[in-house]
Amino acid sequence: MKKVIGFFALILIVVFLCSGVLADFTKFMAWLFFLEQTQPDISIYGEIVVRVLTVFVSFGLVGVLFNAFGWFNSRAMALVYSIVSIIISFALSFTVWMIEQYIIAICIVFGFVVIAILAYFIITFLIKKRKNKKRRE
């Protein structure tokens, strides 16, 4: 009986593969594979940061997603985790690569923003201090 069921399952799989029903899934999986292989070149420290953040963010995102649906299936979670981790890994790799490429410009802009924020707080503190002195007199 198992051989007959296995034979019909094989015929069903062959029909699915030949009919093109799984063509979109195959294209998507090929896109994920090429996405994983075309990550930009980053330093070893950047790669470590990307890998660690990918694991944490992917596990967290998949856990939140399946918890929201209330559906805990280990096979489905593993598949979704692999897809999410590849996409997040690529996005983080690209972000780290951009930061490494333009670190000087980022530091300059960040420095100006910090100086502007500090100047704002210092000026508002001095204005409040002068207003308080005038009120006391």
Supply the pLDDT for residue 121.
95
Dihedral of CA atoms 126, 130, 133, 134 in degrees, nearest 10, equals -170
Percent of residues, the chain, with pLDDT higher than 90: 14
Do 80 and 69 meet the contact criterion of CB atoms below 8 Å apart? no
Question: Which alpha helices (H) appear in 1-102, and where do they start and end?
Answer: 2-19, 23-37, 44-69, 74-101
Q: Which of 7-11, 34-38, 62-66, 87-91 has the lowest mean pLDDT?
A: 34-38
CA proximity to 82, closest of 33, 115, 119 = 33
Q: Where is pLDDT greater, at 56 or 13? A: 56
Percent of residues, the chain, with pLDDT higher than 70: 87
Residues 120 and 65 in one domain: yes
Residues 106 and 84 in one domain: yes
Q: Number of structural domains, the chain?
A: 2
Note the pLDDT tens digit of each residue in 35-85: 665 556 677 777 778 888 888 888 888 888 888 887 777 777 888 888 888
State which residues form the domain around 21. 1-38
Residue 125 pLDDT class (50, 70, 90 cuts): very high
Residues 113 and 58 in one domain: yes
Supply the pLDDT for residue 112.
95
The pLDDT of 13-20, averaged and rounded, is: 76
Residues 62 and 117 in one domain: yes
Residues 71 and 132 in one domain: yes
Residues 45 and 17 in one domain: no
Residues 91 and 75 in one domain: yes
Q: Where is pLDDT greater, at 38 or 26? A: 26
Residues 61 and 96 in one domain: yes
How far is the C-alpha of 48 from the C-alpha of 50, rounded, in Å?
5
Residue 124 pLDDT class (50, 70, 90 cuts): very high
How far is the C-alpha of 111 from the C-alpha of 117, rounded, in Å?
10
Residues 91 and 69 in one domain: yes
Residues 57 and 25 in one domain: no
**Around Cβ 42, how many Cβ atoms within 10 Å?**
21
